[in-house]
Amino acid sequence: MAVSQNDARARLTEALIRTGDEDRAAFRDLYALTSAKLFGICLRICGERQAAEDVLHEVYLTVWRRAGAFEPGRASPITWLATIARNRAIDWRRANGRRPSLSMEHAAEIPDAAPLASETMEADEESHTLHHCLDGLEDRQRVAIRTAFFDGLTYAEIAERDSVPLGTMKSWVRRGLARLKECLDR
Partner 1 sequence: MSDDLPAGPEPDMAAAELALGLLDGEERAAALRRVLAEPGFAGEVERWRFYLAQLFDLWPEAAPAGDVLARVERTIHGGRARPAWAWPAAAAGASAIAASLLVVLLFRPMPVMGPVQQPTVAARAAPMLVAAIVPSAKGDMVKAVYDPGSGMVRLTAASLAGAGKSAELWVIAGDGVPHSLGVLPKGEGMAMPVRQDMRPMMAAGSVLAVSIEPEGGSTTGAPTGPVVATGALSAV
Contact status: 162 vs partner 1 (CB under 8 A): no
Contact status: 13 vs partner 1 (CB under 8 A): no
Contact status: 171 vs partner 1 (CB under 8 A): yes
Q: How far is the CB of 14 from partner 1 (least distance, A)?
A: 19
Alpha-carbon gap, residue 153 to 175, rounded angstroms: 18
In Å, what is the CA distance from 133 to each residue of 114, 140, 148, 175, 183?
Answer: 12, 14, 17, 13, 6
Contact status: 184 vs partner 1 (CB under 8 A): yes
Given the complex with partner 1, which of 57 and 103 has the nearer CB atom?
57
Q: Where are the alpha helices (DSSP H) in 22-165?
A: 24-46, 49-66, 77-95, 124-135, 139-151, 155-161
Query: How many of the chain's residues bind partner 1 (CB under 8 A)?
Result: 80
Given the complex with partner 1, which of 10 and 61 has the nearer CB atom?
61
In the range 64-93, which residues lie near partner 1 by CB under 8 A? Answer: 64-65, 75-76, 78-79, 82-84, 86-88, 90-92
Contact status: 161 vs partner 1 (CB under 8 A): no
Instruction: Answer yes or no: are the C-beta atoms of 129 and 118 closer than 8 Å.
Output: no
DSSP 8-state symbol, 108: G
Contact status: 53 vs partner 1 (CB under 8 A): yes
In Å, what is the CA distance from 143 to each residue of 42, 55, 127, 159, 179?
Answer: 20, 26, 18, 12, 14
Given the complex with partner 1, which of 13 and 127 has the nearer CB atom?
127
**Other residues' Cβ atoms within 10 Å of the Cβ of residue 141:** 20
Pattern 94-133, partner 1, x by CB under 8 A: xxxx-----------xxx--xx--xxx-x---xx--xx--
